């Protein structure tokens, strides 16, 4: 008895010609994502001067720099929570609609317009003479126009407009993935709308909501153009991406710039891991009848 050929043994473990098709894509990701990432990590511990950790010391000892972490979180966390808090009830309403397409199309619009267009539009719309202030003054909610641009609220508005549709679409797809028979069963047993939501839907939705929270948070955390155009980039909306960009491409210190970029990625991953870790306390099982 001879042993099977190498080719046969590899195929039995899942390696054959078809498996090799991943190689080009894998090579691109290794070359353009992993290599630069490792390069950046190495670059960040090779500062222009001082010991290997000098860049991180520079960042964490200068309040102008390390406060960018707090100001980024102070924007990203409330925005994410607000977006999710609005997305869930609206998704629950929309799920009952027969014509979802028009609404979802309107809501996808701001994602594709991108932050730069939205920032440009908000500068006019929210400005002291913009329609938003004019309407509020006209109906008597305000005596004088509010200052809404070039501060925290301008960036906040921009993140809600570009982030809410995304959170909504994700939530909607999770909500519609829940088998309606489950809700009907709960209703048959006499649960009212509130009970059905709190005791049936919410536990089933938690895993999906955790993922939605993470993805929406990643988007809000990466805020860059709107913080420059609509915010106060030297003051309260000096977010960490501005700090990283300035270090790398305005002071031409790519070592410090990548160090800040690494801090940015680390802070963001910590939040994502906390949220995904908390998810494991909840039910994780099939939510759809046939989806499994």
Site for another protein in 3-42 (CB under 8 A): 13-22, 24-26, 28-30, 32-37, 39-41
- Binds another protein (CB under 8 A): choice among 45, 66, 74, 100: 100
Which residue lies nearer to another protein by CB, 67 or 134?
Answer: 134
CA-to-CA separations, 173 to 100, 127, 168, in angstroms, rounded: 12, 35, 9
Which residue lies nearer to another protein by CB, 20 or 274?
Answer: 20
| Minimum CB–partner distance for residue 247 and another protein (Å) | 9
Which residue lies nearer to another protein by CB, 57 or 273?
Answer: 273
Q: Which stretch binds another protein (CB under 8 A): 51-59, 63-71, 198-206, 214-222?
A: 214-222
Residues 6+ apart with CB under 8 A from 59: 65, 66, 256, 259, 260, 263
Tokens of 199: 């005791």
Q: Tell me the HSE value of 7 on the side-chain side, using a 13 A CA sphere.
A: 2
- Binds another protein (CB under 8 A): choice among 177, 182, 275, 282: 177
Closest CA to 229 of 72, 89, 96, 122: 122
Contact call for residue 67 and another protein (CB under 8 A): no
Q: Could you say which residues in the range 106-165 bind another protein, by CB under 8 A? A: 106-125, 129-132, 134, 161, 164
Closest CA to 123 of 100, 94, 78, 155: 155
Q: At what angle do helices 254-279 and 202-221 cross, to 10 degrees?
A: 170
Tokens of 95: 């799920």
| Minimum CB–partner distance for residue 1 and another protein (Å) | 26
CA 250 to chain centre: 26
- Binds another protein (CB under 8 A): choice among 97, 141, 274, 278: 97
Q: Are 212 and 171 in contact (CB under 8 A)?
A: yes
| Minimum CB–partner distance for residue 287 and another protein (Å) | 9
- Binds another protein (CB under 8 A): choice among 148, 216, 227, 262: 262
Residues 6+ apart with CB under 8 A from 10: 16
Q: How far apart are CA 221 and CA 149, in angstroms?
A: 20
- Binds another protein (CB under 8 A): choice among 159, 204, 214, 227: 214
Q: Which stretch binds another protein (CB under 8 A): 1-9, 46-54, 147-155, 260-268?
A: 260-268
């Amino acid at each position: 008895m001879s042993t099977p050929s190498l080719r046969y043994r590899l195929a039995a473990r899942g390696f054959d010609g078809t498996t090799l098709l991943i190689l080009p894509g894998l090579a691109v990701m290794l070359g353009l994502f992993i290599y630069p990432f490792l390069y950046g990590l190495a670059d960040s511990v090779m500062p222009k001067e001082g010991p290997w950790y000098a860049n991180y010391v520079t960042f964490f000892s200068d309040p102008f720099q390390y406060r960018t972490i707090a100001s980024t979180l102070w924007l990203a966390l409330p925005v994410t929570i607000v977006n999710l808090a609005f997305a869930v009830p609206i998704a629950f309403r929309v799920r009952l609609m027969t014509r979802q397409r028009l609404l979802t199309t309107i809501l996808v619009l701001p994602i594709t317009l991108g932050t730069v267009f939205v920032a440009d539009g908000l500068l006019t719309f929210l400005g002291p003479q913009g329609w938003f202030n004019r309407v509020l003054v006209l109906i008597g909610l305000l005596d004088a126009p509010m200052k809404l641009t070039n501060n925290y609220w301008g960036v906040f508005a921009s993140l809600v407009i570009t982030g809410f549709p995304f959170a909504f679409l994700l939530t909607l797809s999770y909500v519609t993935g829940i088998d309606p028979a489950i809700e009907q069963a709960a209703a048959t047993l006499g649960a009212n709308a509130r009970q059905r939501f709190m005791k049936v839907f919410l536990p089933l939705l938690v895993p999906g909501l955790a993922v939605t929270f993470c993805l929406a948070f990643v988007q809000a955390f990466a805020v860059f153009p709107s913080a420059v155009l609509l915010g106060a980039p030297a003051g309260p909306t000096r977010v960490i991406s501005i700090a990283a960009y300035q270090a790398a491409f305005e002071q031409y210190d790519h070592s410090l710039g990548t160090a800040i970029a690494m801090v940015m990625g680390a802070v963001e991953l910590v939040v994502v891991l906390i949220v995904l870790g908390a998810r494991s306390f909840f039910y994780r099982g099939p939510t759809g009848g046939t989806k499994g």
